């Protein structure tokens, strides 16, 4: 009986030693690849099917010398165009930019209720980042704030918006900021062949409705 107890103690000691070795190995990995880094986007590579970044790490006090290449974005994340970013380094040394909920991007309007992610630089040049997907457009404004409950989609327009997903994560879409009309405030009457055509607009001059009076 006593031999069984000592055998069990030896087994437990071996397990503890094994766990200690695993923990030490994990600490070694973490020390070589710290999980979080803050840095600035120094280069963007759009030559592949998805974009990747070169990030120069920095501290709060000053820029550091570490350069991280081939930093990726997670699936579904449009990725930043510039600026400081938070970067995660996993246990395999793979680097990912942390998604920013509600990141504002630019969305190109195809004119048919769909669009895709674009970027525009300081000189006005519009480019399409690698991995940009054509998705359905959804307005932040209720559709009732547009004439005939139909948003005025038009090919070539560029809207500020966000790339979002449904609650189950199965479907992505672009939610865009497209202003609707306000309440009818002004009447614009025109007499045509004995009939008065009345067009109503809000105070911004946006069309609300029309009728004959």
What does the pLDDT look like over 29-66, one tens digit per residue? Answer: 665 666 788 888 989 999 888 899 999 888 766 666 67
Look at residue 3 in the predicted model and tell me its pLDDT. Answer: 63
Phi, psi (deg, nearest 5) at residue 167: -60, -35
Per-residue model confidence as pLDDT tens digits over 132-181: 999 999 999 999 999 899 999 999 999 999 999 998 888 999 999 999 99
pLDDT at 1 over 60: no
Look at residue 31 in the predicted model and tell me its pLDDT. Answer: 59
The two tokens of residue 67 are 């350069």
To the question of pTM greater than 0.95 for the whole model, the response is no
Phi, psi (deg, nearest 5) at residue 181: -95, 160
Rounded to whole angstroms, the Cα distance separating 168 from 166 reads: 6
> 71 by DSSP, 3-state: which?
strand
Look at residue 68 in the predicted model and tell me its pLDDT. Answer: 83
Buried b (16+ CB within 10 A) or exposed e, 136-168: ebbbeeeeebbeeeebebeeeeebebbbeeeee
**Residue 67: beta bridge partners?**
56
The two tokens of residue 199 are 């067009």
Nearest to 126 by CA among 139, 140, 115: 115
Mean pLDDT, rounded, for 86-91: 83
Q: Sorting pLDDT into bands at 50, 70 and 90, what band is 113?
A: very high
pLDDT at 2 over 80: no
Look at residue 150 in the predicted model and tell me its pLDDT. Answer: 93
């Amino acid at each position: 009986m006593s031999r069984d107890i000592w055998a069990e103690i030896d087994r437990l000691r071996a397990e503890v030693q094994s766990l200690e070795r695993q923990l030490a190995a994990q600490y070694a990995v973490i020390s070589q690849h710290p999980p979080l880094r803050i840095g600035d986007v120094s280069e963007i590579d759009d030559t592949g099917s998805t974009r990747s970044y070169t990030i120069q790490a920095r501290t709060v006090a000053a820029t550091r010398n570490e350069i991280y290449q081939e930093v990726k974005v997670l699936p579904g994340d449009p990725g930043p165009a510039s600026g400081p970013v938070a970067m995660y380094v996993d246990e395999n040394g793979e680097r990912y930019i942390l998604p920013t909920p509600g990141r504002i991007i630019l969305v190109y309007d195809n004119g048919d209720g769909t669009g895709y992610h674009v970027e525009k630089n300081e000189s006005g040049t519009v480019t399409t980042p690698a991995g940009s997907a054509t998705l359905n457009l959804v307005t932040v404004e209720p559709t009732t704030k547009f004439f005939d409950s139909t948003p005025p989609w038009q090919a070539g327009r560029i809207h500020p918006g966000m790339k979002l997903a449904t609650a189950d994560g199965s479907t992505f879409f672009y939610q865009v900021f497209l202003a609707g009309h306000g309440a009818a405030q002004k009447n614009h009457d025109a007499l045509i062949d004995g009939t008065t055509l009345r067009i109503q607009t809000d105070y911004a001059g946006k069309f609300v409705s029309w009728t004959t009076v």
